[in-house]
Structure 1
Amino acid sequence: MRAIVPMAAALMLLGCASSTMDAARGTAPTAQLKSQKAAELVAQCIQFSWQDEAVFGVDASGYLQPRKSGGLTVYTREAESFADIYPQDGGTRVDYYAQTADTTALRRRAAAATCL
């Protein structure tokens, strides 16, 4: 019973984040980045960099999940920022989305760029 409550809460948050991400994907990404590295390595690096409490404080979060249509997504709580990572032409394309253009979003974009 104790395990059911946290699991249900996580699924509800994922549902909210998913609808926010789907809506954002209907628009152009905030930034589009490219890398010669493998998509999995780029995604893991972005996830790790977004979890850095020294940079993001209490907002440090990064969750990684595969996309149904291929590729991977790294996202924050409530999908305030997220990155879709796709294998492309022997490298990787990163579509970065941010709900707001605040300092935290710019830091997340910069952190993602260091993973290229």
Structure 2
Amino acid sequence: MRNIHLAMLITLFALCGCQAMPPQEARMSRAVVSETSSRSAQQVSDCIYHGWSTTHVVQNDPTTHIELEKGRMTIFTWQDSMFADVYPRGAGSEVRFYKTFNMGPEVLADRSSIVKLCA
């Protein structure tokens, strides 16, 4: 059963990969999740990274990574098809979670819930 889910996920990524938008374009659309937090940007980023890299929906995702750019920390997952931008805001932070294509609701719900938990 697990192999069937994996095959379906790979097929989904292959079919949707050509329709994926770059992160810059995704940022121009409305975020899937937008939260403010009293936690620092570093704490929120670390929490999201840990959550995304150690939990799985169909399988663990070895592509999760963090990039730093001009006061923003971005955590990418699932071949950069989903990402969370974390910005420092005073003593706290703001996080915005985006997706670059329409994906299965199970994956989106899992990654969104981790973002909300960490904020």
Q: Do these two structures clear the TM 0.5 threshold for a shared fold by scoring above it?
A: yes
Aligned to 1:105: 108
TM-score by length of 1: 0.73
Instruction: Within 5 Å, give how 1:28-107 maps onto structure 2.
Output: 28-55=30-57, 57-59=59-61, 61-67=63-69, 69-98=70-99, 99-100=101-102, 102-107=105-110
Q: CA deviation at 1:89?
A: 3.0
In the alignment, the residues of structure 1 paired with residue 63 and residue 31 of structure 2 have an alpha-carbon distance, to the nearest angstrom, of: 20
Indicate conservation of the 8 Å contact 2:33/2:116, yes or no: no
Q: CA deviation at 1:53?
A: 4.2
- Structure 1 residue runs of 4 or more that deviate by more than 6 Å after TM superposition: none
List gaps (5 residues or longer) in structure 1.
Answer: 1-18
Which has the larger share of helix? 1
Q: CA deviation at 1:54?
A: 4.7
Q: CA deviation at 1:28?
A: 1.6
In the alignment, the residues of structure 1 paired with residue 46 and residue 58 of structure 2 have an alpha-carbon distance, to the nearest angstrom, of: 17
Q: How many aligned positions are there?
A: 97
TM-score by length of 2: 0.71
For residues 59-111 of structure 1, the C-alpha deviation after alignment (integer angstroms, 9 at most, x for no partner) is: 354211102x3220000133221000001132110010023252101100101
In the alignment, the residues of structure 2 paired with residue 33 and residue 60 of structure 1 have an alpha-carbon distance, to the nearest angstrom, of: 26
In the alignment, the residues of structure 1 paired with residue 90 and residue 107 of structure 2 have an alpha-carbon distance, to the nearest angstrom, of: 31
